[in-house]
Structures are given as structure tokens and as C-alpha cells.
Amino acid sequence: MPKRAVHAHEAAPPGGPYSHAVVAGDFVYLSGATPHLRDRSLVEGPFTEQARTTFDNLAAVAAAAGASLADAVRVGVYLRDLGDFAAMNELFADYFRTEPPARTTLQADLPGFAIEVDAVLYRPR
């Protein structure tokens, strides 16, 4: 099965030697999105601002791959502080309104930001 790397010009650039996403067959694998802006600066605001920027980056990567967050079948959420779980749930519901995907939420030692989110999308050809 051929695969294709995706770069999303509307999202923050990757923080290392990896692709924003990889399309493989009917699936799109989105790398972890973080609360960074296109100029690589970090959103320094409260958790909700960081989370909204993160989900917006994830949506931009999905769009660059010819898909949307509505195509998500699995999402991984990594929180520095599990005390932000309820606020993340509210925002999650805004981005995944119908048929929400399967999800895992974990506490993680994130380097200087509050949230990271990755996803797998199903986009039948």
C-alpha cells in the first residue's frame, strides 16, 4: 500500500524530523498537535487557549490531508495536568460533535505546554 506524507502550511511546523501526517490507504495518521503557532511560538495563555490552538492545528493537518476531524476514529489526548480533564472534555465536544471517536486520555510530562493531541482518521477512497 503506498503512503504519502502530508505537510500542513496552516498548522504549526513539526517540532522535529517527522511529518504532520501520513496517508496510508483509507487511513490518515496525524502526528501530535501542540499549542504552537505557525511561527513556532507557544500559546502562553490559559489551558483553554492552548487546547483550542492544539485542536485547530489538528484540524488544519486533517484538512491538508483531504479529511476533517469528523473522520476521526481514534484520538489520543495527553495532558500535563489531569485537573484540565473537564475543560478538555468541553472543547473536545466542540470539535467532535457527532459520532465522537474512540479516545484515550493520559497524563504526560509535556515539555512546556499543557496538551498534545494525535488522531487516526478514516477516509474511504
Give the CATH number of the domain where residue 112 resides: 3.30.1330.40
Long-range contacts formed by 105-111: CB under 8 A, 24+ apart: 105/76, 105/77, 105/78, 105/79, 106/76, 106/77, 106/78, 106/79, 107/78, 107/79, 107/80, 107/81, 107/82, 108/78, 108/79, 108/80, 109/80, 110/34, 110/78, 110/79, 110/80
Q: Whole domain around residue 118: which residue ranges?
A: 3-122
Task: Work out how many domains the chain is built from and give that number.
Answer: 1
The tens place of each residue's pLDDT in the chain, 125 residues long, gives: 789 999 999 999 998 999 999 999 999 999 999 999 999 999 988 999 999 999 999 999 999 999 999 999 999 999 999 999 999 999 999 999 989 999 999 999 999 999 999 999 999 87
